[in-house]
Amino acid sequence: MSTTTIAAIEVELTDDGFLVRPEQWTEDMAPELAMREGIDELTPAHWTVLRYMRSEFFDKGTGPTVRMLGKTSGVSVKELYQLFPKGPAKVAARIAGIPKPRGCI
Amino acid sequence: MADAIEKVSIIISKGSLDGIYPGLILANGARAEGIEANLFFTFFGLDAIHKERHEHIKLATVGNPGLHVPTMLGGLPGVSSAMTMFMSHKMEKLDIPSIPEFIEMIADTGASMYACQASVDLFGLEKNDLIEQVQDIITVGEFYERAAGGEIIFT
């Protein structure tokens, strides 16, 4: 665990970079969190995914897997990997301030 | 923490449902972790990428001790199809995609897919018999070239 400041708010991150308290997240944090993942700019498509991930997390208790994202977020699997090359569910979860989704598909 | 895996090359050599899915889940899971993935289909694994066969993959009900079905029973006509349907139904409820859908999805994630040249020759097939997601028909040596620097998983 480590403590750091994102968008002027002090937050705790897990060892693999996930926000410990999802409720602390604000939209202002996203660009900075994205830069840490090597994503310089968040396009509207990125935001669609981020908002969807948060709503799924608060609705279902866990973030969606890549398959679920591809089926229901409105963004195809192909596009997801173009937006978040290093693993859409994992990276988008970090940027969206929710825990890593668990799931094998 | 140990160094993260950066690339996996997965061989799929079986033609049964239970012989094909593990490799696909490994490939999809790798891509979801940002790991580069190659899939190499050989021997009966070719059925998973064969246009006419990929929708008809069955569960092995004979010589499959893990299934706990007596051999005599498993070999009766229709048992394999019935068990396959049963298994597929259960997988659908868990939102596990069918093999054709899964392979299409895995290709969309950017994984590379190859068919084994020797097996293609053995079964008298051509590139045209294989689904469009297969990039190339390659030899084992060419597979090793593509696998270099990463992990190799045999299924």
Q: Per-residue pLDDT tens for B9-32? A: 999 999 999 999 999 999 999 999
The residue-averaged pLDDT of A40-65 equals 95
pTM to 2 decimal places? 0.94
At position B105, the amino acid (one-letter code) is M
Domain hosting A59: range is 30-96
Q: Per-residue pLDDT tens for B27-85? A: 999 999 999 999 999 999 999 999 999 999 999 999 898 999 998 999 999 999 999 99
Q: Is the CB of B108 less than 8 angstroms away from the CB of A65?
A: no
* Token pair of B136 as six digits: 């190339």
Considering the domain architecture, whether residues B139 and B70 belong to the same structural domain is answered as no
C-alpha–C-alpha distance, residues B24 and B153, integer Å: 11
* Token pair of B99 as six digits: 């093999």
C-alpha–C-alpha distance, residues A10 and A12, integer Å: 7
Considering the domain architecture, whether residues B74 and B115 belong to the same structural domain is answered as no
* Token pair of A92 as six digits: 């988008």
Biggest distance spanned by C-alpha atoms of chain A: 36
B132 phi and psi, to 5 degrees?
A: -65, -20
User: Looking at the 3D structure of chain B, how many domains does it have?
Assistant: 2
The helix (run of H) or strand (run of E) holding residue B38 is strand B36-41
What separation in angstroms does the CA of B82 have from each of B57, B78, B103?
A: 12, 6, 23
B1 inside domain: no
Considering the domain architecture, whether residues B40 and B106 belong to the same structural domain is answered as yes
Tell me if chain B has a CB within 8 Å of the CB of A86: yes
Q: Is the CB of A67 less than 8 angstroms away from the CB of B29?
A: no
Tell me if chain B has a CB within 8 Å of the CB of A15: yes
A58 inside domain: yes
Considering the domain architecture, whether residues B103 and B146 belong to the same structural domain is answered as yes
A5: number of Cβ within 10 Å = 9
Residue pair B14/B155 in contact by the 8 Å Cβ criterion:
yes
Considering the domain architecture, whether residues B17 and B81 belong to the same structural domain is answered as no
Considering the domain architecture, whether residues B74 and B117 belong to the same structural domain is answered as no
Q: Per-residue pLDDT tens for B139-153? A: 999 999 999 999 999
A25 inside domain: no
Give the ipTM of the model, two decimals please: 0.90
Considering the domain architecture, whether residues B103 and B149 belong to the same structural domain is answered as yes
The residue-averaged pLDDT of B113-120 equals 98
* Token pair of B7 as six digits: 């690339």
Distance in Å, alpha carbon of A21 to nearest chain B alpha carbon: 22
Q: Using the structure block, give the residue that is written with the tokens 């997240």.
A: A25
Q: Which of A37, A69, A76, A77 would best serve as a mutation to test chain B binding (most B beta carbons within 10 A)?
A: A77
Instruction: With CA atoms as reference, report the closest residue to A71 among A103, A35, A39, A100.
Output: A103
CATH code of B118's domain: 3.40.1260.10
B2 inside domain: no
pLDDT of residue B1: 67
A39 inside domain: yes
Considering the domain architecture, whether residues B133 and B102 belong to the same structural domain is answered as yes
Considering the domain architecture, whether residues B131 and B78 belong to the same structural domain is answered as no
A54 inside domain: yes
Tell me if chain B has a CB within 8 Å of the CB of A68: yes
Domain hosting B88: range is 62-97
Residue pair A89/B117 in contact by the 8 Å Cβ criterion:
no
Considering the domain architecture, whether residues B126 and B102 belong to the same structural domain is answered as yes
Considering the domain architecture, whether residues B17 and B72 belong to the same structural domain is answered as no
pLDDT band at residue B104, thresholds of 50, 70 and 90?
very high
Q: Is the CB of B95 less than 8 angstroms away from the CB of A105?
A: yes
- Indicate if the pLDDT at residue B114 is higher than 80: yes
User: Looking at the 3D structure of chain A, how many domains does it have?
Assistant: 1
Q: Is the CB of B29 less than 8 angstroms away from the CB of A86?
A: no
B8 beta partners: B37, B151
Q: Is the CB of A85 less than 8 angstroms away from the CB of B33?
A: no
* Token pair of A89 as six digits: 């569910």
Q: Which residues contact B99 (CB under 8 A, 6 or more apart)?
A: B17, B20, B21, B24, B48, B54, B55, B57
Q: Which of B99, B102, B109 would best serve as a mutation to test chain A binding (most A beta carbons within 10 A)?
A: B109
Catalytic residues of A: 104
pLDDT of residue B113: 98
CATH code of A39's domain: 1.10.10.370
B143 inside domain: yes
